[in-house]
Amino acid sequence: MNLSTIQGILAEQHAADCNLYLLLDPLAGCASTDPLHIDALRHALGERAVTRLPRPDLAHSPQDCPALVTLASPGESPCTQRLRQLALRSQIDLVQPKRYVCGLLSSPEPAEIISAHILSLGHLPTEQGQPFIPVYEPLRLELLAACVNHLKQGRWWPIRHWVFPTSSGTCSVLIGDPKHCFPPDPEAASVQQDVILVSALLSSWRQSLQQPLTFAPTRWTGPTSLPASAAVQAYAHICLARGLGLHDHDDIRKLALHSLMLHPRVHEHARVRALIGQAVREQTQLGALLAPYTDRAWQRVVSDLTYSGAAR
């Protein structure tokens, strides 16, 4: 999410009759000297430019509630320097546990209506009712968007466009349409329950790409931090590992990383499958069982899967 990308999206999709908002999450942390600190923005843009989103679970600490900042009113252009600052911050956020910049939102509606709508998106149906889930957090939003058939089919309206940073290091755009306001997918809430594990797996994946691995045939080598579907891939690997009987988070991450770096069907190889079964039966750490495998051993595994289609 760099300046040129942001400017390109705004030039193409931000309508002149819309407000432009910046959504920030104080829980991610922001130095008081940062020009994007909420107090700094309030000082620069005025008190009325900042609207807090009263999260129901943060009633005891309103200072931790997200803030919707009006960067430009209809007919106005946002400050280029401020866009540059948020582009830089979004890159810094990429390797942080939480993201401070949650996106740019375009809408003809005032901030009070948009803030209420953002909070309403967080009430996803579960067996326990509709507890609040902060789906405005970029990773959560990325997973939520993946639960609908198309980005245009979410309940985004009256948000016309929502540009948010993704786990790949780029950004995505949600498009709101009053004619397409589909209810949330029943699976959406269950996907959200795994967001911490998804985040941990994505972090491990990024770290693995910095290692001088001698054998990693499916290692990501694209121009972005991770592939565009990284969050969805991570969640799919988590579900796959659980389906094989693994429940320990370290075991799940370990198997997922081997699949991402070596072969997507590494779990199908007889030797690997046997070790997974052993870890499940004996409640042994899968990482310890896989540790003796050398590059040569993994080359054999990948060769078996690639050329014979069978596990031996």
- How many structural domains does the chain have? 2
pLDDT digits (tens, 9 = 90+) for 224-256: 999 999 999 999 999 999 999 999 999 999 999
Residue 309 predicted with pLDDT over 80: no
Identify the CA nearest to 52 among candidates 102, 96, 122, 111. 111
Domain of residue 248 covers 195-308
pLDDT digits (tens, 9 = 90+) for 176-223: 988 776 666 778 888 999 999 999 999 999 999 988 878 888 899 999
Report pTM: 0.92
- 226 and 168 assigned to the same domain: no
Q: CA gyration radius for the chain? A: 22
Of the residues 148, 183, 218, the one at which a domain ends: 183
User: DSSP letters of 122-157?
Assistant: TB--BTTB--B--TTSHHHHHHHHHTSSSGGGSS-T
Share of the chain above pLDDT 70, in %: 95
Rounded CA gap, 198 and 204, in Å? 10
- 47 and 171 assigned to the same domain: yes
pLDDT on residue 131: 80
Mean model confidence pLDDT for the chain = 91
Lowest mean pLDDT among 119-128, 146-155, 233-242: 146-155
What interhelical angle do 195-208 and 230-243 show, nearest 10? 110
Of the residues 134, 162, 183, the one at which a domain ends: 183
What band does 151 get if pLDDT is binned at 50, 70 and 90? very low
Identify the CA nearest to 101 among candidates 66, 49, 76. 66
Q: What is the mean pLDDT of residues 135-152?
A: 84
Of the residues 135, 159, 183, the one at which a domain ends: 183
pLDDT on residue 312: 46
pLDDT digits (tens, 9 = 90+) for 85-96: 999 999 999 989
Q: Helices in the chain by DSSP H: which ranges?
A: 3-13, 38-45, 80-93, 111-121, 138-146, 188-192, 195-208, 230-243, 249-261, 270-282, 286-290, 295-303
Whether 190 is covered by a domain: the verdict is no
Whether 188 is covered by a domain: the verdict is no
Whether 189 is covered by a domain: the verdict is no
- 201 and 178 assigned to the same domain: no
- 244 and 116 assigned to the same domain: no
What band does 2 get if pLDDT is binned at 50, 70 and 90? confident
Q: What is the mean pLDDT of residues 271-285?
A: 95
